[in-house]
A and B are shown apart, each in its own frame.
Chain A
Amino acid sequence: MVTNINLASPESESKPKLTGKTTLVLSISLLVVTVVVYLALNFVSTRYAGQKTKIENQIAQETAKIGGAEFSDIADFQVRLDTLKKITDEHVRLDLFLRDFSKFVLPEVRVGSLAWEYEKNSLSVSGSTPNFDVLTREIILLKSSPLVQSVEFNGGDAGSEAGQNNVTFSLSIKIAKEKYNK
């Protein structure tokens, strides 16, 4: 019968010494650390909340200062400029257009009335020509004009009376808007 005896390290020395006191201290320390962390976070949170409110108030003050009466004059000026931009976009130099348009009216053609409307972008022209040949040439000339988008011939009538210009006509012309929005 062989008996082994461990002489190097006795069993009682290798076990950790976790006594009741150590456990209690450890537990209390853990709780204290947790509570300290909580309190620290709470303190930081309260401080940050105060800072946040302060900054929010400052932002509100600055915003009120900027949007208030102090700068209402320049804001109004800018609004007026924005409006004027839209107005000037619709600004028409009709004198230049009519001058250009007259180049596309044959000398034999006499315009009796001319009506222009911006919204409809149309020009209604009626007048008289000596004969249908001139009227045809006039329509072709107008159709070739860069000022004109389309020409609609509404009718021509050769009157019974003899005269220099006895063919009356009526035309509806669509204008290329960019030509008079100079």
Chain B
Amino acid sequence: MVKKIIGVRVVILPLSLGIVVIMSILFIKPLLFQVLDYRGSIEEGKKQLSDLEVQYQKLSQLKSEWQSMEEKKIIEVALPQDESVENFLTETYQRAARSGVIMSNFSAKSGTADSLCSAAGGAAGTATAESPSSGVSVGDASPDSADFQNTAGAAGSAASCTASVPTQVSFSGNWDQVLNFLKYSTDSNRIANLKSLTISPKGRSSGGVESSGEQAPSDVLSVVVTLEAYYQPKSGTSSPAAIKALASEAGFSENVLKKVQEIVYAPYEPPLVSETGERNIFK
């Protein structure tokens, strides 16, 4: 009996202590870490959820502001969703008529504005090849002309890239009229960037050498300009980068809106010829 009691005392306590230690190491410790990990994740998740709710509120507010924004229409016209070459032709033709130049040729084909590929809200556009999928050529530069050939097909450019419509316009007019047209074309509602310009007096070769001896300088100048108009197809899904920017910053990019308005609503400035030394350099 005495031996039995001594045996219980010697074996059971160390055995139970051993079991406790093993259970602690094998089960309790990992479980404890798991609980701590869950707690950390829950705290983080709650914070993230709270941020998302704030973002949602902010975006809802921005949306209601956007719905009543007047600038919305300006932006839609400045950077349309499709090529809208016919609208660009109409606007260019009107501006040519207003500035007094005679437009003789208008040709456009679609392409991709390589430099603007990354601009679409951080979208990773890679298309760089010029797409010959569509083109417009106008012989006598009249929007309702029978020569108007619009061969526009499918939008050939990557949606993530801003597509461009390189347009070549030929016209003639005097120095002031040419300057006027250049001003009007850069202040157009659909924003187009001037890429190249060639001016020569009418009747001269491109080298500028008179065809036959010394002639009286012509008032009429022949001009060829390359304008690049842009369009951006609407994306069906929200750009995460744009959403992030909208939610984190103070709403829409006000400075861009202001700049676009400055371009579109630029007041008419008559050319200040001669008063401060400017002159027709072709005379």
Contacts and interface: CB of A to CB of B under 8 A. Distances in A.
Given A52-B41, A90-B115, A161-B214, A71 B252 contact: no
Given A20-B8, A41-B31, A59-B45, A86 B206 contact: no
Nearest to A55: B45
A166 to B, nearest CB: 8
B201 A78 contact: no
A51 to B, nearest CB: 5
Interface string A17-57: 01110011011101100110110011011001101100110
A55 B46 contact: yes
A76 interface: yes
B120 to A, nearest CB: 5
B238 A84 contact: no
Given A26-B13, A72-B235, A105 B279 contact: yes
B186 A110 contact: no
Interface stretch (A7-15, A91-99, A143-151): A91-99
B207 interface: yes
B16 A27 contact: yes
Contacts of B230: 83, 87
Contacts of A38: 23, 27-28, 31
A176 interface: no
Contacts of B276: 103
Q: Which of B183, B209, B247 has the most CB of A within 10 A?
A: B209
A168 B213 CA distance: 12
Interface string A96-130: 10111111010101111111111100000011100
Given A34-B28, A83-B116, A113 B256 contact: no
A31 to B, nearest CB: 5
A92 B194 contact: yes
Q: Which of A87, A90, A94 has the most chain B CB within a 10 Å cutoff? A: A87
B237 A67 contact: yes
Given A30-B17, A77-B72, A79-B232, A99 B271 contact: yes
A66 interface: yes
Interface residues of B, number: 102
B31 A42 contact: yes
B52 A59 contact: yes
Contact of B196 (A75, A80, A86, A115): A115
Contact of B182 (A20, A77, A94, A115): A94
Contacts of B235: 72, 75-76, 79
Chain A, interface SS category: helix
B183 A93 contact: yes
A136 interface: no
A85 B28 contact: no
A152 interface: no
Given A116-B196, A117-B196, A84 B213 contact: no
B179 interface: yes
B246 A78 contact: yes
A72 to B, nearest CB: 5
Interface residues on A, range: 35 or more
Contacts of A41: 28, 31-32, 35
A118 B53 contact: no
A90 B192 CA distance: 10
Interface in B241-265: 242-243, 245-247, 252-253, 255-257, 259-260, 263
Nearest to A62: B52
Contacts of A113: 198-200, 204, 206-208
B154 interface: no
Question: Closest 4 interchain pairs by CB?
Answer: A112-B208, A27-B16, A48-B38, A113-B208
25 contacts: A20-B8, A26-B13, A30-B16, A45-B35, A48-B38, A49-B38, A56-B45, A71-B246, A72-B235, A72-B238, A77-B72, A78-B242, A78-B246, A84-B75, A90-B115, A91-B191, A95-B182, A95-B186, A102-B281, A110-B283, A114-B281, A115-B196, A116-B197, A161-B214, A168-B209
Interface of A: 18-20, 23-24, 26-28, 30-31, 34-35, 37-38, 41-42, 44-45, 48-49, 51-52, 55-56, 58-59, 62-63, 65-88, 90-96, 98-103, 105, 107, 109-119, 126-128, 161, 163-166, 168, 170
